[in-house]
Amino acid sequence: MTLNKILIISGTHGNEINPVWAANQFIKQPNTKDNNIEYKFVIGNPLACEKGCRYIDRDLNRSFGLIKNNLNSSIYEINRANFLVQKFGAQGSEPCEIAIDLHTTTSNMGTSIVMYGRRRKDFCLAALLQHKFGLPIYLHEKDKKETGFLVEAWPSGLVIEIGSVAQNFYDLNIINRFLIIINSLRDEINMLKNNEIQLPKDLTVHVHQGSIDYPRAKNGNINALIHPERINKDWKPIKKGDPLFIDMEGKTTSYMGEDSIWPVFIGEVAYKEKNIAMSYTKKEVITLSNKIFKEFSN
């Protein structure tokens, strides 16, 4: 793949406002050496951004599996997904080879990378960032309930997920973290194209295994909350007997699996409606062949 254009998407969720600010601030920076790679910037869901809500009709970042059969949908996000792919997709009018989708979470994930499936090019991009910053990587795969992610519609792409930060709350620390990532990604890709980069052979990823819902009453209402011992403990292992939830009477629900799990998106506000209190992963070490780093070289 010849790498000419990279698409940076912010505001895929309209209430995640710090990436939008960071992207606008990045654009204002004086040009630096960019190795002939053009960066395109787009707001994923402008109407939701205007209204300060996650989405209008349905989650845009779960709508990219539906676009082929819905060319003239009445659903705003399906039309928007179509528009983004028709304009910036690999066969689009301004084709981009990589999509970087910038997100925030109310969970204490820190600065992290989310990958969807095991594409060689994605491993390469993730390795660049993990090598530089040691960022944790969440590899999402094999979950039939959660599909149609934006970056899957491009030949290669990652989500940068930073938290914790509240929805609709401007936080300069979070904005600065996005700027560091965007700037570094540009620098690293330049070095990669110039064969100036050496990467380790191994990549540690947290592989999605499933999700755990809140305990709920018969009417569907949540009736126990994330246990204080779990709050803010994303990426920290949970072992048998560790408490997960606590109800109004102080009764706890504990994890009873035999194997340790590594939780992510603990208490993410937007996932309550998806019946997800947290997702859980297992650690896996991926061995990278040197060949994959040539994916992006000319």
Q: Is 191 in the site for a copy of itself (CB under 8 A)?
A: no
Interface region with a copy of itself, contact rule CB under 8 A, candidates 17-25, 85-93, 110-118, 283-291: 17-25
Cis upstream peptide for 164 (omega within 30°): yes
State in angstroms the smallest separation of the CB of 236 from a copy of itself.
18
Q: Which is nearer to a copy of itself, 50 or 141 (CB)?
A: 50
Q: Which residues contact 232 (CB under 8 A, 6 or more apart)?
A: 108, 164, 266
Partners of 204 in beta bridges: 285
Q: Is 166 in the site for a copy of itself (CB under 8 A)?
A: yes
Which of 6, 7, 13, 21 touches a copy of itself by CB under 8 A?
21
Q: What are phi and psi of 3, to 5 degrees?
A: -100, 110
d(CA 257, CA 239): 7
Task: Please give the angle made by the CA atoms of 155, 24 and 297, to the nearest 5 degrees.
Answer: 30
Contacts to a copy of itself from residues 204-263, by CB under 8 A: 222, 225-226, 228, 231, 246, 248-249
State in angstroms the smallest separation of the CB of 28 from a copy of itself.
5
Q: Is 105 in the site for a copy of itself (CB under 8 A)?
A: no
Strands in 252-254's sheet, in edge-to-edge order, are 224-226, 243-247, 252-254
d(CA 100, CA 250): 43
Task: Please give the angle made by the CA atoms of 8, 187 and 135, to the nearest 5 degrees.
Answer: 75
Q: Which is nearer to a copy of itself, 166 or 191 (CB)?
A: 166
State in angstroms the smallest separation of the CB of 269 from a copy of itself.
5
Q: Is 288 in the site for a copy of itself (CB under 8 A)?
A: no
Could you tell me the two tokens for 33?
Answer: 């050496």
Contacts to a copy of itself from residues 26-55, by CB under 8 A: 28, 52-53
Give the binding site for a copy of itself (CB under 8 A). Answer: 21, 24-25, 28, 52-53, 106, 166-173, 175, 222, 225-226, 228, 231, 246, 248-249, 267, 269, 272-273
